[in-house]
Amino acid sequence: MHLSAFSCENSLAYCAYESITWKLIAEKLPVGNSKSLQSINIRKHYVEHYVSIKQHVIQCISSAKAKYFIPFISLTIDLIQNEVQNKKMIWVRISYVHENKLCSHNLGVRGFNPGREEFAGKAATELLVQWTTTILKEFSILPEQDILTSCTDSGSDVKKALEKVFPTFREWCVSHLIHLALADAFGSHIDPKKSKNSEMREFLTRCRKVIEKVNKSKTLKVTLKKKLLTKFGQNMKLRNSPSHRWAATEDVFIRLLRAGIQFKTLSLKRGYLLQ
| Residue at 167 is within a domain | yes
Q: Kindly report, residue by residue over 53-100, the tens digit of the pLDDT.
A: 899 999 999 999 999 989 999 999 988 877 666 788 889 999 999 999
One domain, residues 233 and 257: yes
Instruction: Judge whether residue 173 has pLDDT over 90.
Output: no
Look over the chain and give the mean of its residue pLDDT values, rounded to a whole number: 79
One domain, residues 104 and 139: yes
Please, where are the H alpha helices in the chain? Answer: 2-9, 20-28, 34-38, 42-65, 116-119, 124-138, 143-146, 156-160, 174-186, 198-216, 218-232, 246-262
* pLDDT (0 to 100) of residue 246: 59
| Residue at 163 is within a domain | yes
* pLDDT (0 to 100) of residue 38: 60
| Residue at 19 is within a domain | yes
One domain, residues 77 and 144: yes
Q: How far apart are CA 244 and CA 50, in angstroms?
A: 33
Q: Which domain holds residue 162?
A: 71-172
Instruction: Judge whether residue 49 has pLDDT over 60.
Output: yes
Would the pTM count as exceeding 0.85? no
Amino acid symbol at 47: V
Q: How many domains does the chain have?
A: 3
We report the CATH number of the domain holding residue 130 as 3.30.420.40
* pLDDT (0 to 100) of residue 270: 39
| Residue at 55 is within a domain | no
DSSP codes, 223-249: HHHHHHHHHHSS--------TT-HHHH
Backbone angles phi, psi at 164, to 5 degrees: -110, -40
Q: Which of 41-50, 133-142, 184-193 has the highest mean pLDDT?
A: 133-142
DSSP codes, 191-205: SGGG-S-HHHHHHHH
pLDDT above 90 as % of the chain = 17
One domain, residues 160 and 234: no
| Residue at 103 is within a domain | yes
One domain, residues 212 and 145: no
One domain, residues 33 and 122: no
| Residue at 93 is within a domain | yes
Total Cβ atoms within 10 A of residue 32? 8
* pLDDT (0 to 100) of residue 266: 43
